[in-house]
Amino acid sequence: MNLHRPLGTLSDGENAVELHPEDAGWAYTGLRVLLLHPGQSRTIDTGEFEAFVLPLSGGCAVEVDGERFELAGRDSVFTRVTDFAYVPRDATVVLSTKDGVEVALPMARAERRLAPKYGPAEDVPVEVRGAGSATRQVTNFGVPGVWDHADKLIACELITPDGNWSSYPPHKHDDTCEVVNEEIYYFRVAGRDGVTPSRDGFGFHRTYTDDGTIDEDVTVRDGDVFLIPRGYHGPCVAAPGYPLYYLNVLAGPGADRSMAFCDDPAHTWVRDSWRTQPLDPRCPVTTAEGRTA
């Protein structure tokens, strides 16, 4: 299976990314990324899937089950924490925009049908994780304990300042751990202004298994997707000069949503070293009010 899907390889002509579980060779997790031009609308039938409507740039209205949510959105994933909406399975969703929007729909095959719900940006916790050159921002908008209004779907955003490492130490969510999750990494890379996504910049990503059946070290650029069916993943490294964002989407067969993980035991000691290292002052990069610097 090709786990690295560069920009364009998952496009169907209408969508920048159209990834269903069958495309990934697994059962639950998917992702769509849509671009709507000014004044445009799009109707989506969710079918078996619940989803978040997450603006990446611009804002949009979401109409579903007789409700309407106005998402203010943001200029880019590097400028602000955004508001979002949850939409259930078996729903017809209408997205519309006045000024244009690029929007991600992380999704998961769901068993229960829940009500639509709005998620305000000011209620989204922003966590600074790691220390030293492993300092990064985690935006926990759709994780268990923060957002429990979902059946299977889990999602969060990460921003790694240029030159830093994230998803480190390497960790996994599979059958030797407490929980099994399929996971998608969707990357955006800022250009030289640190804000505007650009294919000029790049980062690095690693995924591997103990038995060597997966051993991937790849260069990722803006708009790329990486699939993690199993095994340790990390680090993700932002090249100097190019901040790195990724959207994590997870789902699995467990009755309870969980992000439990197992570190690679060879590298878990690194966590203890952070106690004596200062945090990178560039984190957090963004809040609901905007950039911190």
Looking at residue 190, its pLDDT comes to 98
Among the listed residues 191, 280, 274, 273, the one whose alpha carbon sits nearest the alpha carbon of residue 239: 191
Q: Indicate whether 161 belongs to any domain.
A: yes
Mean residue pLDDT across the chain = 97
Any domain includes 179: yes
What pLDDT band is residue 261 in, cutting at 50, 70 and 90? very high
In order of 74, 182, 190, 293, the CA distances from 79 in angstroms are: 7, 28, 11, 10
Query: What per-residue confidence (pLDDT) applies to 259?
Result: 93
Mean pLDDT for 65-88 is: 98
pLDDT value of position 13: 80
Provide mean pLDDT across the span 12-22: 92
Tens digits of residue pLDDT in 183-195: 999 999 999 999 9
Residue 73 lies in a domain: yes
Asked if residue 1 has pLDDT above 90, the reply is no
| Nearest Cα residue to 191 out of 138, 237, 245 | 245
User: Averaged over 107-130, what is the pLDDT?
Assistant: 98
Q: Which of 228, 236, 223, 184 is nearest to 209 (CA)?
A: 228
Give the pLDDT score at 11: 93
Mean pLDDT over 145-158 rounds to: 98
Q: Is residue 289 part of a domain?
A: no
**Backbone torsion region of residue 100, taken as left when φ is above 0, otherwise alpha when ψ lies between -120 and 50, otherwise beta:** left
pLDDT value at residue 240: 98
Q: Is residue 176 scored above 90 in pLDDT?
A: no
- In this predicted structure, the answer to whether residue 67 has a pLDDT above a threshold of 80 is yes
Task: Over range 77-81, report the average pLDDT.
Answer: 98
- What pLDDT does 32 receive? 98
Mean pLDDT for 270-279 is 96
Please return the burial class of 271, using the count of CB atoms within 10 Å of its CB with bins 0-12, 13-18 and 19+.
middle
Q: CA–CA separation, 240 vs 161, rounded Å?
A: 9
User: What is the distance of C-alpha 181 from the center of its chain?
Assistant: 14
Q: What CA–CA distances, in Å, run from 53 to 72, 118, 260?
A: 12, 10, 24
pLDDT at 37: 97
Residue 105: CATH number of its domain: 2.60.120.10
pLDDT at 55: 98
Instruction: Kindly state whether residue 291 falls inside one of the protein's structural domains.
Output: no
Site of tokens 């990494």:
185
Domain-embedded: residue 208: yes
Question: What are phi and psi for residue 275, nearest 5 degrees?
Answer: -60, -25
21, amino acid identity: P
Token pair 């250009």 in the structure block, residue = 191
Q: Tell me the residue range of the domain where 13 lies.
A: 4-284
What's the structural domain count of the chain? 1
Q: Is residue 44 part of a domain?
A: yes
Is residue 105 assigned to a domain?
Answer: yes
Residue 59 in tokens: 């804002």
CA distances from 220 to 18, 109, 209, 245, 287 (A): 18, 27, 20, 11, 25
- pLDDT the model gives residue 14: 82
Percent of the chain with pLDDT over 90: 95
The pLDDT, as a whole number, for residue 12 is 86
Question: Using CA atoms in the order 268, 168, 134, 220, what is the torsion angle rounded to 10 degrees?
Answer: 160
Distance of CA 95 to the CA centre of its chain: 20
